[in-house]
Amino acid sequence: MLRLAVPNKGSLSDSAIAMLKEAGYRTRRDPKELVVTDADNSVEFFYLRPRDIAVYVGSGTVDAGITGRDLLLDAGSGAEEVMALGFGASTFRYAARPGEIADVAAISSRRVATSYPGLVAKHLAQAGVQADVVRLDGAVETAITLGVADVIADVVETGTTLRAQGLEPFGEPILRSEAVFIRRPGTSQGGAVEVVRRRLVGVVTARHYVMLDYDCPAELVQEACRVTPGLESPTVSPMQNPAWLAVRAMVPRAQTNRVMDALYDLGARAILVTEISACRL
Ligand SMILES: Nc1ncnc2c1ncn2[C@@H]1O[C@H](COP(=O)(O)OP(=O)(O)OP(=O)(O)O)[C@@H](O)[C@H]1O
Ligand SMILES: O=P(O)(O)OC[C@H]1O[C@H](OP(=O)(O)OP(=O)(O)O)[C@H](O)[C@@H]1O
Ligand SMILES: [Mg+2]
């Protein structure tokens, strides 16, 4: 059986579970359930802390899993990112009191508090900056107020926590993170991991695209197909009236209304949008 790790708590947990459910897997019924066997799909799910998932996958204790890119890089385990999952987006940034520290070079000889010491040590080393890294479990933003650090490096989503502590980010973000599907390179379960990957690609794509159908005057179909090129190529079908053709294509969800406007201006009519509930590309 394939062994897959899923975040049991925290920012990534609910969305990861929802995505696996959409991909047709059995998920836990109770937050206290830590192991779930999906016999139909030959997968055993282990509900673990996202921080530990990269370590378990890297060591081969489990074959693959879902965690944050920042946690994967912090662990420095042998696990590798297979694909981004499109949720749990955040940046990882340095912050300090306003005007106190201008850039990464100015961190030199200062104390940096973080829950991601691996990630920060690597980043400072790459920048050629010597600093003391203070490892904390959480509530990192308070470290400056408490006088145990001059700089913090932490996850920033909305920036509300930083503002509430009177801190400001500085320098370029160290990292742009989101939830990722990870695996151990060279796992003997490579084929089974690939099946999960294809299912997850199906969910991500179904969320990202809608299906567009429209009727198009036959002489305008080439132009209309340039507006909706689809993934491979749009499907063009005859209609009872030979002056018209029916066109069907996937369109990025975010562009739906812009594309509909363009098609309408061109002369297309009966433009319909439908949800894609699942797909395999
Ligand atoms: N607002 C957020 N706060 C923290 N982590 C976030 C946020 N948004 C996305 N993430 C991502 O979630 C992962 C951290 O999840 P984790 O469960 O370890 O911490 P958490 O969500 O802060 O939960 P807790 O601190 O309650 O244990 C990281 O990959 C991080 O980038
Ligand atoms: O930019 P924001 O939207 O404010 O989100 C980022 C904050 O949220 C998380 O903290 P959490 O509430 O999980 O507490 P923790 O520090 O104890 O993990 C994270 O560690 C940041 O502090
Ligand atoms: Mg947290």
How many C-beta neighbours within 10 Å does residue 76 have? 14
Per-residue pLDDT of the chain (281 residues; tens, 9 = 90+): 999 999 999 999 999 999 999 999 999 999 999 999 999 999 999 999 999 999 999 999 999 999 999 999 999 999 999 999 999 999 999 999 999 999 999 999 999 999 999 999 999 999 999 999 999 999 999 999 999 999 999 999 999 999 999 999 999 999 999 999 999 998 889 999 999 999 999 999 999 999 999 999 999 999 999 999 999 999 999 999 999 999 999 999 999 999 999 999 999 999 999 999 999 88
Return the pLDDT at 9: 96
Ligand 1 atom with the smallest distance to the CA of 92 is: 31
| CATH number belonging to domain 209-275 | 3.30.70.120
Within this chain, domains 90-176 and 209-275 share the same CATH topology: no
pTM of the model: 0.93
Contacts of 253 (CB under 8 A, 6+ apart): 207, 208, 209, 210
- How many whole angstroms from 106 Cα to the centroid of ligand 2? 25
Return the pLDDT at 34: 96
Tokens of 76: 């420095």
Return the pLDDT at 186: 87
Which top CATH class is 2-86+178-188? alpha beta
Which top CATH class is 90-176? alpha beta
Tokens of 16: 């990861």
Question: Parallel, antiparallel, or unpaired: how do β-strands 80-84 and 35-38 relate?
Answer: unpaired
- How many whole angstroms from 138 Cα to the centroid of ligand 3? 6
d(CA 78, CA 55): 8
Domain ranges of the chain: 2-86+178-188, 90-176, 209-275
Tokens of 84: 């981004």
Looking at the CA of 119, which ligand is closest? 1
Looking at the CA of 91, which ligand is closest? 1
Return the pLDDT at 281: 82
